[in-house]
Structures are given as C-alpha cells and as structure tokens.
Structure 1
Amino acid sequence: MMEQYEKWLAVANNSILASIGGLLLTVLVAYPLANAFSLGVQILAHIGTLFFAVGVKVSYVARLTFLSKLGRPVH
C-alpha cells in the first residue's frame, strides 16, 4: 500500500510542476505577449490560466494527502 502512495505522491509532484509550467505559459501568452497572438489564442490562454491554476491547487492538495498517508511532515 505504501508503494502506491509513493507512486501517487510522485504523480502529484509532477502534476504540480506541469501545472505551474502551463500556468506560466498561458499567463505569458494572455498578457505580455498578447499582441503576438490572435484573439482566439488569447481567449484560450485566458481559459487555460484558470484551468492550470486549478491544477496547481488540486495537485497540491493531493500531494499533502499522500504525504500525510505516508506519515511524512505536511507543510
């Protein structure tokens, strides 16, 4: 069972990194680089910003949950 928690902890950690990367990319496209992209791409970037922000939050909660299940400090 602990190996499963380790596996899911790694998934949660990777999901946080991927979500942060996506969030940074969509923020760049939506704001400072907006003039270089079409309106459709800008709209998708704004929507993506919302989704990636939620991804960061959900992944972080999952990370805390699996750390707790493994008996590790949660901070």
Structure 2
Amino acid sequence: MSDYEKWLFTASSTLGLSVLGLMVTILLAYPLAGALALSAQIAAHIGTLVFAVGIKVAYVARLVFLSRLGRPVH
C-alpha cells in the first residue's frame, strides 16, 4: 500500500467522522437545545462549525490523493 493510499484512507475516514460529528452537533444545537445547559449549547454550535470545516478539508484532501493515484476524480 502506497503512502497516497494510506492518506486517502485517512482522508476518507476523516470525512465520514466529520459528517457524523456534524450530524450529532446539529441535533444537539437545535432540536435538543432545550435539554442542554448554555455552555453545552455553545459547544454544540462551535462543534458545528469545526465539523463543517473538517468536511471541507477532508474532501479536498481526498480529491488530491485520488488525483495523485491516477483515479477518477468526480
């Protein structure tokens, strides 16, 4: 397994975890906000921003590694 394939796996895993984290923080920040303390609500809103950035960075990294491996980039 080449280094690019390892990095592709890492980028794909990070993308999946970021999507999951974004979904959880959206649920905490909006529908379940009434059950949380203010500090937890603030953390959930900040987490929403952080996970959204994680999705963007991981997606771009994934595209770069697919390109470097000569695989189709869609």
Given the two structures, how large is their TM-score scaled by the length of structure 1?
0.96
Structure 1 runs of 4+ with >3 Å offset: none
Unaligned runs of 5+ in 2: none
Unaligned runs of 5+ in 1: none
* Partner residue in 1 for 2:14: 15
Deviation by residue 1:13-41 (Cα, 9 ceiling, x = unmatched):
00000000110000000000101110100
* Partner residue in 2 for 1:71: 70
Q: After TM superposition, list the pairs within 5 Å mapping 1:1-75 onto structure 2.
A: 3-75=2-74
Given the two structures, how large is their TM-score scaled by the length of structure 2?
0.98
Between the two proteins, what is the percent identity of the paired residues?
A: 64
- Give the alignment's Cα RMSD to 1 decimal: 0.8
SS in 2 for 1:48: helix
Give the AA of the match of 1:45: A
